[in-house]
Amino acid sequence: MLASGIDWNKAKGAVWRVHAKRLKPIMDFSALPLDRLLGIERQKAALVKNTEQFIAGEASNHVLLWGSRGTGKSSLIRALLYRYHVSNLKIIEIPRESLSWLPEISDELRLLPYRFIIFCDDLSFESGESGYKGLKSIMEGSLETPPENIRVYATSNRRHLVPEYMSDNQQATVGERGELHLSDSVEERISLADRFGLSLSFYSGNLDDYLTLVKSYFEGYEGDWQALMQEARQFAQARASYSGRTAQQFFNFKGCRARADVIPK
């Protein structure tokens, strides 16, 4: 059994172990609370609304969080577990290369009295890969109805999850009425993103956004703020990034003690 031995009353979620071909329970984890994730209020509100509808058994969507690296996509998913694991929500992380196991995993989860989010981090597929077909069947089903207690939340740097090439457009043909007919192979690849009823875009912030995030990490700092901000600017410029990830890395670089609100749960 892929999930054998997991006590879901105690486990807050699970991660897929590729070589063991089974789920490993998550008993402890750490994450930033939702209210500490700044600059992504629109995306946060939409994701929370969808998740709360899912937990309540109401209509809800699969979610694709896509956009620039380091902008808080994965942090939002972890924050959901931080807030809602007490509401019978479990998050199961499965890597791209193991998505073919999803039908078997869902067979073991669909009858359990919990709500499960299948979390696919940094999801994308190259041309010729077929692993996304198992993902599509879980999201919309085939002859079998998709599990009511499972939703897929994925993060990606790509809007359509697969690369698009100029040659794809060159394969298109124009019909008698002038309409454009894309090739079947292009339609199949791009249709994966259409399975996500909620698509949330994330973009890199500017210097002001970055410094606001830095200040949130250093709340209560009693040193020279002007010098700290200058050092934060130089740190970001050296990495050519003003993302939230860079702000956290600067906090770690300074060797500050972890915030009291980032605690194991």
Query: Which of 50-54, 170-174, 235-239 has the highest average model confidence (pLDDT)?
Result: 50-54
Q: Is the pLDDT of residue 182 over 50?
A: no
Phi and psi for 192 in degrees, rounded to 5?
A: -60, -45
Strand order in the sheet with 115-120: 22-26, 13-17, 89-93, 115-120, 150-156, 63-67, 198-202
Task: For 21-41, write each residue's pLDDT tens digit.
Answer: 899 999 988 888 898 888 889
Q: Is the pLDDT of residue 47 over 80?
A: yes
Q: Report the pLDDT value the prediction gives residue 141, as an integer from 0 to 100.
A: 63
Dihedral sign from CA coordinates of 129, 67, 214, 93: negative
End-to-end CA distance of the chain: 27
Q: How far apart are CA 63 and CA 117, in angstroms?
A: 10
**DSSP bridge partners of 14:** 25, 92
Domain boundaries, the chain: 13-202, 207-253
Q: How far apart are CA 158 and CA 181, in angstroms?
A: 23
Q: Report the pLDDT value the prediction gives residue 262, as an integer from 0 to 100.
A: 44
Is the distance from CB of 77 to CB of 91 less than 8 angstroms?
yes
Q: How far apart are CA 155 and CA 43, in angstroms?
A: 13
% of the chain surpassing 90 pLDDT = 41
% of the chain surpassing 70 pLDDT = 78
Q: Which two tokens stand for residue 118?
A: 């299948």
Where residue 131 falls among pLDDT bands split at 50, 70, 90?
Answer: low
Q: Which residues, other chains included, contact 253 with Cβ-Cβ below 8 Å and sequence gap of 6+?
A: 235
Q: Is the pLDDT of residue 178 over 60?
A: no
Q: How far apart are CA 152 and CA 95, in angstroms?
A: 12
Q: Report the pLDDT value the prediction gives residue 175, as an integer from 0 to 100.
A: 46
Q: Please count the other Cβ atoms lying within 10 Å of the Cβ belonging to residue 20.
A: 9
Q: How far apart are CA 14 and CA 22, in angstroms?
A: 10
Where residue 176 falls among pLDDT bands split at 50, 70, 90?
Answer: very low
3-state secondary structure of 257: coil
Fold of the CATH domain 13-202: Rossmann fold (3.40.50)
**DSSP bridge partners of 91:** 13, 117
Q: How far apart are CA 186 and CA 167, in angstroms?
A: 10
DSSP 8-state secondary structure symbol assigned to residue 90: E
Is the distance from CB of 19 to CB of 121 less than 8 angstroms?
no
Query: pTM of this prediction?
Result: 0.78
Q: Report the pLDDT value the prediction gives residue 258, as an integer from 0 to 100.
A: 47
Q: Report the pLDDT value the prediction gives residue 260, as an integer from 0 to 100.
A: 43
Query: Higher confidence at residue 203 or residue 158?
Result: 203
Query: Higher confidence at residue 216 or residue 93?
Result: 93
